[in-house]
Every structure is written in structure tokens, then in C-alpha cells.
Amino acid sequence: MNSRCMVCILALVLLQWMGCHSTRATADGPARHSPANTMKTADEAAQKALAALPQLAQTNTYRGMGFASIEEARSAQLGAAIPRKIVSYVELLKYQPGVPLSRLFTGDEEMVYPFQIGSTTKSTTAVSKKEGAWHIASVGDAYLARVMSAAPEQPQRLHIISVPGLSLDFAGTPHGEDWELFPAQDYPELDVTRGRPIRAEELLPRLSNYAKNFEKQYGDQIRKRRLVK
């Protein structure tokens, strides 16, 4: 099974688990932003995801979640949160040379918390803020753990930069108006290689051209499915 698909399934299982532990859950089970998945702070949401981890780490899931064993998954602890910035697909299509990366971010607030064994990040949970409350967006996402590790070090300023409309992710650190981006994998279509950092001002023109070509081929389909912002 695709690891990102498994993350979605685990999120649904988590919501069901939370619903069973909430006196306010409905008979039909909790919605994504039900009372069971509504917290006042990002830390509270992450702690709830951690509490559910032992229920989610089963024989058929723990490896896909990034753990070496069920026992390892059940002994994981939360690391320090890392902000996740979402790049707007629509803004990429309108991009003009010289516009800084920060101007392309959506207003979404999302934090990614490492699930750690010692100082080693094995997996993650992501929490997002909508309508004034924090919600668990994903749990057991080993892919985002690999994104974090793409940077040679993990300084306090580390962010995750994601372009969900194009399924692209980078670790990134700000340098004034510019960003240094670290690809989590090779992206041949952008002439970008894992482990080789690139400045946002250099990458953005390529990224915009890629988005425009993608739009020509799949624009109608993705708008019907409302996959981008």
C-alpha cells in the first residue's frame, strides 16, 4: 500500500478511536472536525495523536509508519514542533519573477510534530488550525519525517515547505526574504536532487513553469476534485 494512502487510513482510524473515547461523538462516528478532534492548542492535538499511537501501531501498519517494531512505536515521544508552510497552487500559476516565496504561502496554520525514539525522528503527526481550533490532520506519516531529515541539520528555524497541488515537499530555512530549500527526494522535472540545497529564488521560476504545464494537462480534473488552493 502507498505510504501516503496508509496515513489517510490511519487518520480515519484515529478519528474513530477518538470518537469512541468522546462522550460527545455521534452514533455515526466523528467527522474530521468533530468535537473529538477539536483542541485549543497545537500541543494538545499532538498529545492526543501520541496517546492514540499504541492503538494505531499494529502488525500491518508499524513499518509503514516508520517504526522498526510495534514496541518502538509504542515508546515514541513527541519532539519539538516544526511549522509547515503551504504554497498556493493558484499563486504559483500567477508567479512573477522576483516575488518572494513568502508571498505564495496560504494562510493555513499547520505544525508537524516528530515521533521520536531518543533523538531520532521516526514518524510524525501533523495538526492544523481551522475556525480557531486545532485538529489532527495526519498521524504516522514517515514521509514527513524524511522531509525533516533532508536538511543536513535541524536548526530551530527549520520549516517544511509543501506544494500539495503538485505533491512536492522540501525542508527549508529562511534567509531574509529568500529561503534555502532541501529536497526530500529527486525531482527530475525541476532539475532538483535530494541532498543538494537550492535557493527559493532559483527554484520558483522552474516551479511556476511546472505548475503551468501541469495545469494545461490536469487543471479541469483537479478543480473538479478541489485538490488545490
Can you tell me the distance from the alpha carbon of 69 to that of 71, in angstroms, rounded to the nearest whole number?
5
**Cell numbers of 124, please?**
510524525
| pLDDT tens digits, one per residue of 72-106 | 999 999 999 999 999 999 999 999 999 999 999 99
Residue 88 per-residue DSSP state: P
Calculate mean pLDDT across residues 118-138. 94
- pLDDT at 26 (0 to 100): 28
Identify the burial level of 124 via C-beta atoms within 10 angstroms of its C-beta, where 0-12 means exposed, 13-18 middle and 19 or more buried: buried
Predicted local distance difference test score (pLDDT) of residue 165: 85
Is 6 a residue whose pLDDT tops 90? Answer: no
pTM score: 0.82
pLDDT at 28: 33
Percent of the chain at pLDDT exceeding 70 = 80
DSSP 8-state assignment for residue 102 = G
Q: How far is CA 79 from CA 23, 117, 149, 154, in A?
A: 30, 9, 13, 12
Q: 3-class DSSP state for residue 52?
A: helix
Which of 3-7, 155-159, 220-224 bottoms out in mean pLDDT, i.e. has the lowest? 3-7
The predicted pLDDT at position 20 comes to: 44
